[in-house]
């Protein structure tokens, strides 16, 4: 319990200290929450619901996960295309192979950066 008290003090959560202690007790032995005298009936009911309904989440959470997965796949597809194009278009456009940070290499590297710069500027 000393760790819980020091965490609450450090995080400025002294008002929630009794609840944090109950959570720590339940976390120490997750299968014995029914017999913890520190918990009241409502808290036991809430823990029982969590155990028996492990996959009950709001539908919007699943939608968010699916949309983020699709967005990650599209971003990876886009980045792969950009990197592949960066290998071939300097030769196709007659841009010399410069060593160092010349204007020619800058033009070749810009298309690879566009998706990331766009995401960063909209965040």
What's the whole-number mean pLDDT along residues 83-105? Answer: 64
Nearby residues of 5 by Cβ (< 8 Å), 6 or more positions away: 17
Q: What are the boundaries of each domain within the chain?
A: 2-52, 59-122
From residue 98, give the alpha-carbon distance in Å to each of 12, 92, 95, 109. 56, 15, 8, 12
What pLDDT is recorded for position 6? 93
What is the pLDDT of the chain when averaged over all its residues?
A: 81
What value does the mean pLDDT take over residues 86-111?
A: 62
Model's pTM, two decimal places?
A: 0.50
């Amino acid at each position: 319990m000393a760790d819980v008290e020091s965490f609450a003090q450090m995080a400025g959560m002294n008002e929630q200290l009794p609840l944090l202690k109950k959570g720590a007790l339940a976390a120490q032995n997750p299968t014995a929450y029914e017999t913890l005298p520190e918990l009241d009936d409502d808290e036991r009911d809430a823990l029982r619901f969590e155990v028996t309904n492990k996959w009950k989440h709001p539908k919007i959470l699943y939608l968010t996960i699916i949309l983020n997965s699709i967005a990650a796949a599209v971003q990876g597809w886009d980045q792969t295309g950009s990197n592949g194009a960066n290998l071939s278009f300097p030769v196709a456009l007659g841009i010399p192979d410069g060593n160092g940070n010349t204007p020619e290499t800058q033009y070749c590297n810009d298309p690879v950066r566009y998706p990331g710069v766009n995401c960063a500027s909209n965040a």
